[in-house]
Amino acid sequence: MENMNAKKQTVAWLLSDESFRAWLAGKASAEASSQWNDWLRQSPDHRLLRDEAKDLLGRVRFPALEAPNLDWQWEKLRRQLSTKTPTASIFASLVAAFADWQGRRRQWPRYALAMAAAVLMVVAAQYFHVFDRLKGAPEPIAFQTVSTQFGQRSTIDLPEGTRIILNANSILRFPDRAWENPELRFELEGEAYFEVSSRKEKPGHGFTVHTTDGAVRVTGTRFVVHERGPGTRVVVEEGEVEITVADTTAARPVPGAKVFLKPGNLLQFQKGDRHLSPQLVHVGPYITWWRDRLILEDTPFGQIVKRLEETYGIEVDVKDKVLLQQTLSGAIENRNLDVTTEALAKVLRVSVRRKGQVVIFGR
């Protein structure tokens, strides 16, 4: 599984790894699945690579027994790209460069080269055949993608007045100049705080946040959407939101169960859920993670530990497991990892130390 530590990770590189393809197909061993899941959590860029690989894998079927004749395939592609269009010239150069690279990598297993070649040819063919058909067609919608690393946050201020704070290790995708459209649509992986300007005065204007589990629709409110691992969590600070759960039973995606959340409501749900049960909670621990002081209200220390691990990409080792059940109330400093852990240790009256990527509470 050397690809996981490669300095230059590409979709072709990853797809040449048999364990990676098995993981994408849900057929990897428990050990391999654990390793690839760890790799996925290391960076938002890895999520983008995974999604692109899944898309290509769905359109390409790699031979299991006999590798194709690569020399013949390259010659065929060169002939297809022999026209003088800009796209053809670009990919002709790309093919030549890859062929040269291939020649210097003869010690590689032939099946790996076959897979890399197939991926490149699919991409080249896609652009080559689509280029002429798109002449004169409306310009496709461009998307903006904002991503954060562990320990980072990003603030997005839209011209129409909405503010979005993207938490660490998260990805937010939305159409370019989305605020000019009646319907604002966002796709989220990770966690984000939304302070949405009122859109009630504009009938037909909406604001929707989509995750793999469903959609959150609002007209003017403050709320947090958290999507990490199985399920999505929504907590409302002000206003009202409508949750629509994605339905897994239909042949194509259709809306499933719906529920409205009011201030102080928390809902945890997964795709396909039929019964939705909002809870009334203290919202402070869920909506103040982006501020200089984190508000705690009877918050279990174990919940705080999980947030630290999600935000900073670390491991927290609590020597006395009883501490995980202890609840904390009040406000603690929240400017960075060291400040926060020192504040927690002081409240818990235990020692804290950091050893690489592991934070240890207690002795």
CA dist., res. 193 & res. 287, Å (int): 7
CA dist., res. 249 & res. 267, Å (int): 21
Task: Return the structure tokens found at 15.
Answer: 């797809």
Q: Which segments of the chain does DSSP mark as H helices, in order?
A: 11-15, 18-24, 30-41, 44-59, 70-80, 86-103, 110-133, 284-287, 301-312, 337-348
CA dist., res. 98 & res. 120, Å (int): 9
Cβ contact 277:301 at 8 Å = no
Q: What b/e sequence results for 228-242 when a residue is b if at least 16 CB atoms lie within 10 Å of its CB, and e otherwise?
A: beebbbbbbbebbbe
* Structural domain boundaries in the chain: 2-133, 143-280, 291-361
Please report the pLDDT score of residue 77 as a whole number.
54
Please report the pLDDT score of residue 141 as a whole number.
63
Task: Return the structure tokens found at 48.
Answer: 């983008």
Domain 291-361 maps to which CATH number in 3.55.50.30, 1.10.260.40, 3.40.50.300, 3.30.70.270? 3.55.50.30
Helix, strand or coil, per DSSP, at residue 193: strand
CA dist., res. 222 & res. 264, Å (int): 11
Task: Return the structure tokens found at 160.
Answer: 């129409």
Instruction: Write down the pTM of the prediction.
Output: 0.62
**Considering the domain 143-280 in this protein, what is its CATH number?**
2.60.120.1440
Task: Return the structure tokens found at 222.
Answer: 């403050």
Per-residue pLDDT of the chain (363 residues; tens, 9 = 90+): 544 444 346 777 777 788 888 878 777 787 888 888 888 878 777 888 887 777 766 654 444 434 445 555 555 555 555 544 444 454 455 555 555 545 544 444 544 555 555 555 555 555 544 444 444 555 556 778 999 999 999 999 988 788 999 999 999 998 877 666 667 889 999 999 999 987 555 555 678 999 999 999 987 899 999 998 789 999 999 999 999 998 876 555 455 689 999 999 999 999 889 889 999 999 999 999 999 999 999 999 999 999 999 999 999 999 999 999 999 999 998 989 999 999 999 999 999 999 999 999 998
Please report the pLDDT score of residue 39 as a whole number.
82
Please report the pLDDT score of residue 204 as a whole number.
54
Q: How many CB atoms lie within 10 A of CB 275?
A: 7
C-alpha 174 chain-centroid distance = 13
C-alpha 26 chain-centroid distance = 18
CA dist., res. 13 & res. 27, Å (int): 19
Please report the pLDDT score of residue 144 as a whole number.
87
φ/ψ (deg, to 5) at 260: -105, 140
- The set of residues, in sequence order, having a beta carbon less than 8 Å from that of 38 and lying 6+ positions away, is none
Please report the pLDDT score of residue 25 as a whole number.
76
Q: Distances in Å between the alpha carbon of 49 and those of 145, 249, 346?
A: 14, 28, 41
Number of H helices, E strands in the chain: 10, 18
Q: What b/e sequence results for 116-145 when a residue is b if at least 16 CB atoms lie within 10 Å of its CB, and e otherwise?
A: bbbbbbebbeeebeeeeeeeeeeeeeeeee
CA dist., res. 165 & res. 188, Å (int): 12
Please report the pLDDT score of residue 344 as a whole number.
95
Helix, strand or coil, per DSSP, at residue 159: coil
Cβ contact 341:354 at 8 Å = yes
Cβ contact 69:195 at 8 Å = no
